[in-house]
Amino acid sequence: MSVFVVVEQSNSGVHRMSWEALAGGQALGRDLSLPVSVVLMGENVSALAESFQSKDVKEILKVETPLLSNYSADGFSSALAQVIETESPKYVIMGHTYMVRDFLPRVSAKLGLPFLADNIAYGVEDGSLVLSKQLFSGKLVADVSPNGDGPCIISFQSAAFQEEDVTDGSGASVRDISISLDENTIRSRPEEPFQEAAGAVDLSSAEVIVSVGRGIGKEENLPMVKDLVQAMGAELASSRPVVDAGWLESYHQVGSSGQTVAPKLYFALGISGAIQHVVGMKGSKNIIAINKDPEAPLFELADYGVVGDLLEIVPKLTETLQG
């Protein structure tokens, strides 16, 4: 019985959220007295293995085959399912990344094992594990438990654990796990990643950002926000629905699939505070939110909160600033 933390590679090495997952896995291991091992999958993961040599893990498990050189949902799900079957870990942990969304549900389906996804925390009640997950974009939280014995697959949301909390150790042993993959079973073939043409504004260096969300209601209300942007000498950003609706270009989007910003002030207008937005702006030094819903999750993160109708407040604010 052990905790497996499965590592995701990024172009620079280990994906940030895999370090967070390792911190979570180590904490869980301590609480439940289970050893922690990391699983590395790829064509050649020796260099990657070195990154974990100095960490407090029991084993570094290498799963190497040329068919894993590029990510594919078929290849990765089949490989990990085989690892789980042969090794029978108690918990299999990963960060809730876009790649995890793509292949981990298939592992769950192949083995008939529960996949408790996108958790923000865990607890231990009477010796069993309880995970906490957001519902309704963070407005509510649910405690969720796996049913039955056997391995349980878990993913943690960004920032559920801190990379700095990964503990060091020594003497992790390295072991190869052999699996069999047939080229013909890989039915999805990804091409090279690319970025869409960058936009006119670089939000990452902006001092003040005014960001508009679905609460703006309709496109006709946007000029009101643009006036405020001008009065404050700010840059304009937005949440995803505003871009989805075609009201602003995609380079204005802040969040997990958009830009990451850290201005002196992030002024959010009619944005609820879903995690995929929050990961892009939580590093802001000051956050002010206007929202008509006093329970909006973004108020939890904000330094200042204004409960009210942005359509009323914004024009008055602009007027006052223009003096």
Partner 1 sequence: MKICVLVKQVPGSDSPLKISDDQSWINEENVNFITNESDNYAVEEALQLKEKLGEGEVVAVSLGPERTQRTIREALSKGADRGIHIEESYPYASDPLQIARTFASVLEGEQFDLILSGLQSDDFGFGQVGVILGEMLGMSTSTLVMETELADGKMKVKRELEAGWFQWVNLDLPASISIQSGINTPRYPSLKGIMGAKKKELNKVSVDSNNEPRQSISKVYIPKKTKRTEMIVGTVDYQVERLVEVFKKDLRIL
Ligand X SMILES: Cc1cc2nc3c(=O)[nH]c(=O)nc-3n(C[C@H](O)[C@H](O)[C@H](O)COP(=O)(O)OP(=O)(O)OC[C@H]3O[C@@H](n4cnc5c(N)ncnc54)[C@H](O)[C@@H]3O)c2cc1C
Return residues touching ligand X (CB under 6 A).
Answer: 137, 213-215, 239-241, 253-258, 270-272, 274, 276-277, 280, 290-293, 296, 309-311
Q: Which is nearer to ligand X, 110 or 214 (CB)?
A: 214
- We find the least distance from the C-beta atom of residue 304 to partner 1, in angstroms, to be 5
> Residue 206, CB half-sphere, CA atoms under 13 Å: how many?
26
Size of the site for partner 1 (CB under 8 A): 84
Is 167 or 276 the residue whose CB approaches ligand X more closely? 276
Strands 36-42, 3-6: pairing is parallel
Report the site for partner 1 in 234-273 (rule: CB under 8 A).
Answer: 240-241, 243-244, 246, 250, 256-260, 264-265, 272
Q: Which single residue is written with the structure tokens 């013909």?
A: 184
Q: Is 1 helix (H, G, I), strand (E, B) or coil?
A: coil
Query: What DSSP element (H or E) covers 59?
Result: strand 59-64
x/- mask, partner 1, residues 121-140, rule CB under 8 A, reads ---------x--xxxxxxxx
| 312 interacts with partner 1 by CB under 8 A | yes
- Taking the least distance from each CB to partner 1, the nearer of 27 and 113 is 113
Should residue 1 be labelled a site residue for partner 1 when binding is judged by CB under 8 A?
A: no
Count of C-beta atoms within a 10 Å radius of residue 164? 8
Instruction: Quote the least distance from Cβ 114 to partner 1, whole Å.
Output: 4
Using the minimum distance from each CB to partner 1, give the nearer residue, 164 or 198: 198
Judged by CB under 8 A, the stretch of 19-27, 42-50, 103-111, 169-177 that binds partner 1 is 103-111
For residues 39, 45, 51, 55, the Cα torsion angle rounded to the nearest 10 degrees is 30
Site mask for partner 1 (CB under 8 A), range 192-221, x = bound: xxxxx----------xx-------------
Per-residue mark of binding to partner 1, 49-88 (x: CB under 8 A): ------------------------xx--x-----------
308 binds partner 1 (CB under 8 A): yes
Contacted by 311, from partner 1, ligand X, none: CB < 5 to 8 Å by type: ligand X
Using DSSP's 3-state secondary structure scheme, residue 99 falls into: helix
Q: Tokens for 111?
A: 């083995």
Q: Exactly one of 46, 88, 204, 286 binds partner 1 (CB under 8 A); which one?
A: 286
d(CA 113, CA 106): 10
Structure tokens at 322: 């223009």
H or E stretch covering 129? strand 128-135
Q: What type of residue sits at position 188?
A: S
Q: Tell me the three state secondary structure of residue 300.
A: helix
Choice between 60 and 83, CB closer to partner 1:
83
311: phi then psi, degrees, rounded to nearest 5: -65, -25
Q: How far apart are CA 315 and CA 281, in angstroms?
A: 24
According to DSSP, the residues that pair with 20 across neighbouring strands are: none
- Write down the least CB distance from residue 196 to ligand X, Å: 13
Which pair of tokens denotes residue 234? Answer: 């700010």
175 binds, among partner 1, ligand X, none (CB under 5 to 8 A by kind): none
